[in-house]
Homo-oligomer: A and B are copies of this chain.
Amino acid sequence: MRMLILGGDGFCGWPTALYLSQQGHEVAIVDNLARRAWDIELGTDSLVPIASLNERIVAWRELTGKNIAAHIGDLQDYAFLSQVVRNFQPDAIVHYAEQRSAPYSMIDRAHAVFTQVNNVVGTLNVLYAMKEFVPDSHLVKLGTMGEYGTPNIDIEEGYITVNHNGRTDRMIYPKMPGSFYHASKVHDSTNIEFACRIWGLRSTDLHQGVVYNVQTDETKRDPRLANRYDYDGVFGTALNRFCAEAAKGHPLTVHGAGGQTRGFIDIRDTVRCIELAALNPAERGELRVYNQFTEQWSVQQLAERVSNVAAKMGIETTIAHVDNPRVEKEQHYYNAKHTKLLDLGLQPHLLTDETIQDLLASALANRDRITLDRIPAQVKWR
């Protein structure tokens, strides 16, 4: 298949591009290199050194003989985007090209506005480009489990049948996002549903959980192919961050009580989920929603898992319950369905001690690159 990876230089996009290329698909990347610019803005850097996009692509070609085309530009630039789409004629458009950090969106007004405009306009432009040039293509869009929030009922995959006053309807599952970033994904979902309904586009909205682990079989093949490892308070996420903290001798920072429970997924499953969705496209006019995660964990449980594995490796850790910078429930019901990708054949990598050990080893090998004052989550929601 012809796969266009929007945001193909990012944490999920790059390993996805490699995996799909390895599987024999024809892959092209669109990226505006924004993620690298945000590192400069925030004074952070990937814990594992990463090559430039150009070096990455050259290395992949040297190793495999496979070509990945790269188009540098912004989805908000419709002239650019639509030309790439028209020329490449993708079977699937995998859309990661969004500002994806909740804390980044909460830095201040300007960052909230930037996040929502960047994400919403980018996605609107993708929808119009599909309508105009590839109406039969399939949009594989990355959403987030954070669109749902933490309701007191089971979370279904995108839709819920509601019985009310003696009547019934299948409705879009109600959303309650936890940041202006998460809200931007809700906005996207609303726009995509509408576009599928009126234009007959096909889309799969992958409500992804928190992604952990860093490298895949492909990114491990050469240091120039290495994936980025975020450990900082803005872009770093649970598990991976705990491993960096443990490696640096920093307390594992749990926000508040730590009962916050979320869906998690290994990045090796992320890349496989994308291919599964692409190989089994939605119908024309259909917006499918898959909850893309494999296990539920509380933040406290993850900190303890990391702490235990670290101990076996001779690393002493402490768990610090710091003031929660976010506004969120710290104890709550959480039961989210996630069977649709399993039905398509996903064989999950569940969280093993070996995975944590790999992450710790990788963080230890690069511990001099960790800037201590970048670790705390300093962006406050209130």
Contact = CB atoms under 8 A, between A and B. Distances in A.
A198 interface: yes
A133 interface: no
B187 A120 contact: yes
Interface residues of A, number: 47
Nearest to A178: B194
Interface string A195-217: 00111000000000000000000
Interface in A143-175: 151-154, 160, 162-165, 167-169, 171-175
Contact of A190 (B153, B172, B187, B333): B187
A46 interface: no
A124 B108 CA distance: 11
Contacts of A162: 153, 160, 162, 174
A333 B128 CA distance: 31
Nearest to A200: B382
A190 B174 contact: no
B187 A167 contact: no
Contacts of A154: 164-165, 167
A312 interface: no
A306 interface: no
A85 to B, nearest CB: 13
Interface of A: 78, 109, 112-113, 116-117, 120-121, 124-125, 128, 151-154, 160, 162-165, 167-169, 171-180, 183, 186-187, 190-191, 193-194, 197-199, 327, 333, 381-382
